[in-house]
């Protein structure tokens, strides 16, 4: 089953960051609001989230 995620929450500023849907785990994304570098991570439950990636 394909994962669906169009928005993930920035851990720094709580804004919803739009995802293209083809990002890979570990890929670096910049929050468009606070410009924090974020890495795409996956929990054991397959839930995706963003983590600060300095
Ligand atoms: Zn942010």
Instruction: From first to last of the 54 residues of the chain, give the pLDDT tens digit.
Output: 455 568 999 999 999 999 988 889 999 999 999 999 999 999 999 899 999 998
What pLDDT is recorded for position 22?
Answer: 86
Distance 2 CA to ligand 1 centre (A): 26
Q: Are 17 and 37 in contact (CB under 8 A)?
A: no
What DSSP character marks residue 15? P
Coil, strand or helix: which one is 38? strand
Strand arrangement of the beta sheet that strand 28-30 belongs to: 28-30, 37-42, 48-52
Of the candidates 53, 32, 54, the residue with the CA atom closest to the CA atom of residue 41: 53
Distance 8 CA to ligand 1 centre (A): 10
Distance 9 CA to ligand 1 centre (A): 8
pTM flag (> 0.85): no
Of the candidates 2, 20, 17, 22, the residue with the CA atom closest to the CA atom of residue 49: 17
What pLDDT is recorded for position 50?
Answer: 96
């Amino acid at each position: 089953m394909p994962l669906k995620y169009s928005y993930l929450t920035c851990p720094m500023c709580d804004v919803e960051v739009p995802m293209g849907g083809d990002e890979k785990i570990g890929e670096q994304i910049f929050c468009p609001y606070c410009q924090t570098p974020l890495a795409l991570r996956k929990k054991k439950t397959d839930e995706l989230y963003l983590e600060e990636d300095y």
